[in-house]
Amino acid sequence: MEVFVRNLPQEATEKQVKQYFRPILAELSINVFHCQKPRNKGYAKITLPDRQLGQRFLSVHGQLTPGFEGFKTVKKQLRHMNRPLNCSLSNNSPDEYVLKSLEREQVEKAIAKWRPVPTPKAPAVDNKLTRRIFDFNIIHCGAMDYVGSDLAFVPYYGQIRSGRLTFGRRFVLVDSNPSVVTTSAQQMEIPYSSIQSLMTGRSTNPCVTFSLEVAPRFYEKVPLDENNLINGMNRLGLKYFQKKQNVPNRRRTTAIDSSHRAIVASCLCYRFQVYPADVACILALKRLPGYPDIVPWDTAVLKQTPFHVQMTHLNGALNANQYQEYPFELKFQLQRLAQNGYLPPYKVIQLMQMMRQTFPNADTSSLADAVRKLACHIPYPGAETEATELSLHTLRDLLVNNYNKILRERQYSKDLSTKYEQIAMIYKAMVTPAGIYLSGPEPEMKNRVLRKYSAFTSFFLQVNFADEDGEQIRYDRTTSLDGVYQERFKVVLEGNITIAGRPYEV
């Protein structure tokens, strides 16, 4: 049986959707399923082994009757990345080969459940292989780029600071000791699920470099002065009991310090200088189950113009007279490439110069869609990516292919906002503790305001406040979130979000 899931974020990957549905299906005793999520689409197809399992899922999370009334009658509504999901029976029959594969997997799991598991012999313990804590003395934040055909690390932020890297079961915990800039100890959490690549240098350049998909979480340790607490309670005539208090022992922050805050949202590569003897021990961790793959790759250090200066040049170019013929929808997508970390700002400026020569009389609306789709085709710079894949020539070819494909598609199908009067294409921004990430435009149902100003929908911005992974910020009794709500979200709410020279009041 095939279940059709609507209203998924277009940027969500098939792996993320599968990980989201696995525990939900497991609660219904459904352990075998197949998930298909097309790239850059807002829907997915979930195939279950038989109709009985499909009805079990739909009876809890599915829409059994069509229309908005049927959507309201769902027993247990599912939400992914703060978006309500619409699950219903697919109009298409499931692929017979997928069904056979699922049935076979179901039988194999049932047999393995009753098969006696042989007791393995305890392997010899090697301290070098089991060691998971390593000291570092320098921390850098930057991006990956290329010098010719060689991979290089571009540091935009650096600090001489000692600390420890702890490779846990689900994430890397970075404990930094107090420094001259920051007087308190700090922590950084890097989930394994957010690591795109992990590289180590050689003994002559002992370092560990993390390339991430999203920004890590930052914390500041808050020491509890128990004596002041006791004295204060005594003045109030209250008794003090030697009992553990539910007082937060750390505080969520937005960056390491003010210098790091300017680049934390767009620069997602972190390099830690370790000791030469620890490089082999870190490489040995990739043999352990659940740990990310670690590649020995010595990269040079490339000095470039500071990142905030590059962003200033890009913002100036977007507002310059030489690009005044570019509409806002195209400038939005160009700023998104740099602000979301797809390309460095200097390369976006080169891309703009190339676009003027390649598309002198292009349809700017189709060109904006082509730039938007370009972000899906840009690979992460790393050991598995060649320099030619991120060259300006390759980006131009991808952009031309996207543009021609969009022109062909628009000959046969109209835009949703043109086809349906009740739908508007809305730009979106996701505000996280680290930064602001742009997306869209995406189709949304018009409300009273959008119907009144239907000719000016591009002047409205849908803002979502979330954690770095797109989910809501979860409560943790050991962590104070005042730094996120007061110093980050409140500042955005009281100010505005500027995109391509256009300020949006939140």
Distances (CA, A) of 485 to 253, 259, 294, 472: 10, 20, 36, 13
pLDDT in tens, 208-224: 999 999 999 999 987 65
- Report d(CA 400, CA 193) in Å as an integer: 33
Amino acid at 249: N
C-alpha 237, offset from chain centre:
50
Which pLDDT value is given to residue 77? 86
pLDDT of the residue at 125:
44
274 conformational bin, left if phi > 0, alpha if psi -120 to 50, beta if neither: beta
Please, what are the averages of pLDDT over each run of 10 residues along the chain (506 residues)? Answer: 88 87 89 88 89 88 76 83 86 86 84 66 50 92 92 93 91 86 81 92 89 93 60 59 64 91 93 92 86 89 91 90 88 94 93 90 90 91 89 93 89 73 90 93 90 90 92 87 90 92 88
pLDDT, tens digit (0-9, with 9 covering 90-100), for 484-503: 998 899 999 999 999 998 99
Closest among 68, 61, 66 to 87, alpha carbons compared: 61
Q: How far apart are CA 153 and CA 381, in angstroms?
A: 10
pLDDT at 271: 95
Q: Where are the alpha helices (DSSP H) in 278-436?
A: 279-284, 307-318, 328-339, 345-358, 364-377, 392-412, 416-419
pLDDT of residue 230: 54
Residue 506: the pLDDT is 80
Please state the pTM of the whole predicted model: 0.70
Residue 103: predicted pLDDT: 86
Residue 127's pLDDT is 42
Judge if the upstream peptide bond of residue 443 is cis by omega within 30 degrees of 0: no
From the list 24, 85, 82, the residue with the least C-alpha distance to 57 is 24
